[in-house]
Amino acid sequence: MPKVGETAMASSKGSTPPNPGAARIADSPCFPQYTASLKCLEEFNSDKSKCQEHFDVYKECKKKEREARLERNRNRSFFS
């Protein structure tokens, strides 16, 4: 039984994340492009103009990822 002041969240210290269905950026196939963008910003002291190529590559990857997800969902039926 939880002590006074202890919340339900404190008692659920298992290995299950708060929202197991939520996507994590680290699970994305675009994670390498994402980290490359961040490293570029770090290297150039947040000068976005020097990292535009990295942003474009990441954006294109996310676009392809989104299209693939939509195609997978299109093949599923709500009634099957």
pLDDT value at residue 57: 97
Query: What is the total count of domains within the chain?
Result: 1
Is 4 domain-assigned? no
Residue 45 belongs to domain spanning: 24-80
Is 77 domain-assigned? yes
CB 49 within 8 A of CB 77: no
pLDDT value at residue 46: 94
Which residues are within 8 A (CB) of 51 and not within 5 positions of it... i.e. 6 or more apart? 37, 40, 41, 44
pLDDT value at residue 16: 54
The segments of the chain whose pLDDT lies below 50 read: 1-2, 6-12
Is 17 domain-assigned? no
Q: Could you tell me the sign of the dihedral formed by the alpha carbons of 37, 42, 44, 47, in that order?
A: positive
Is 6 domain-assigned? no
pLDDT value at residue 63: 97
Is 3 domain-assigned? no
